[in-house]
Structure 1
């Protein structure tokens, strides 16, 4: 009898963990409200705080960049391209995950963090990548980590491209960076209203 009860309990726990893991990887219901995002995914709030302790910077800037890059979809990829609108010719890059990180840049990040084995479709790893990249942009191009506009231009063009001014010939990118900056400011305002609440949330015992 004890064995049967223990087995049922184990199965129940495993099912709960599986469902929680699936929910953790699903797109948040309201991506325009950073407080709602963190309420739905308390672990994300603690993960981004851990990364800020490591690299420095605010919460609202990397969250706005991730919003722009993937809309918080774990398996996001660039759109498939088609020849004559019918024949698939592949994707424009190997960008993947929450941060839409390229494989080559991701390898640089892996080297920077040492022995960790980060995954591009894991939010904690992705946001750590973004904050690492922001730290590099700050060190190489003196772009403040609170400057969402400048940080996004570095993120999109690379630090070398930004220093050469490649973004200046791309009006569409300038407009996108402005949207990222406006969204970051909204996120900052929202965080000011729920920060105390978020600080009381726990990661979740199963993590």
Structure 2
């Protein structure tokens, strides 16, 4: 084994225990991506592939899972007693449901994708945003509308189902706010993130 491969293996072992842990702070995009260099690489890849800005990716994930890889809805209850199944099949960073994730894998051919893998989750979000743009005309920079289509599905968004859900509109405004904040932060640290990413092996 070459010295480079040995160093990569050591890094991988050292980081394996914390790779999926949430970032220390979700308030700063610069802090998140400085701490999670592999996340920056994955998000940058999606930005190039799907033209979905990194700040929109982060805003959606923050709302959906607070950057927890194994986030899941609560379990159903009967007379206050938790049952085995959950109220939804949503899971992982992007909170994608079983059927939507299967649709994504079928359309992209990414059959090995896992919802608790950050790179796969942001690729899913990038792909979904492209469908939203193509079928609904939603700009990929419009975090508010992208989130509504993400939450309600393309048919639901087209039918304006969100208009009967004031709470959801409020959530979408939060996503828009997160996105704007992250965009401003990234403007000040993007070059630093980019220059420090080349040597990061993951």
TM-score norm. by structure 2 comes to: 0.91
1:81 is paired with a residue whose SS is strand
After superposition, where does 1:136-151 map in structure 2 within 5 Å? 136-151=131-146
1:90 is paired with a residue whose SS is strand
In structure 1, what is the equivalent of residue 176 of structure 2? 181
After superposition, where does 1:81-120 map in structure 2 within 5 Å? 81-88=76-83, 90-120=85-115
In structure 2, what is the equivalent of residue 135 of structure 1? 130
In the alignment, is residue 121 of structure 1 matched against residue 116 of structure 2? yes
In the alignment, is residue 190 of structure 1 matched against residue 185 of structure 2? yes
In the alignment, is residue 66 of structure 1 matched against residue 41 of structure 2? no
In structure 2, what is the equivalent of residue 44 of structure 1? 39
Contact residue 46 and residue 52 of structure 2 kept, 8 A: no
More divergent stretch after superposition (83-92 vs 137-146): 83-92
Structure with max Cα Rg:
1
Distance 1:87 1:112 in 2: 36
Distance 1:46 1:177 in 2: 26
More divergent stretch after superposition (10-19 vs 40-49): 10-19
Contact residue 99 and residue 126 of structure 1 kept, 8 A: yes
Distance 1:90 1:188 in 2: 38
Choose from 152, 161, 164 the match for 1:166. 161
Distance 2:200 2:192 in 1: 18
Moved over 2 A (4+): 10-19, 86-90, 202-207
Between the two proteins, the alignment pairs up a number of residues equal to: 199
Deviation at 1:27, TM superposition (A): 0.6
C-alpha spacing 1:189/1:206, structure 2 compared with 1 (3 Å): closer
Contact residue 46 and residue 203 of structure 1 kept, 8 A: no
Structure 1: 5+ residue runs without aligned partners? 1-5
Distance 1:177 1:146 in 2: 14
More divergent stretch after superposition (191-200 vs 82-91): 82-91
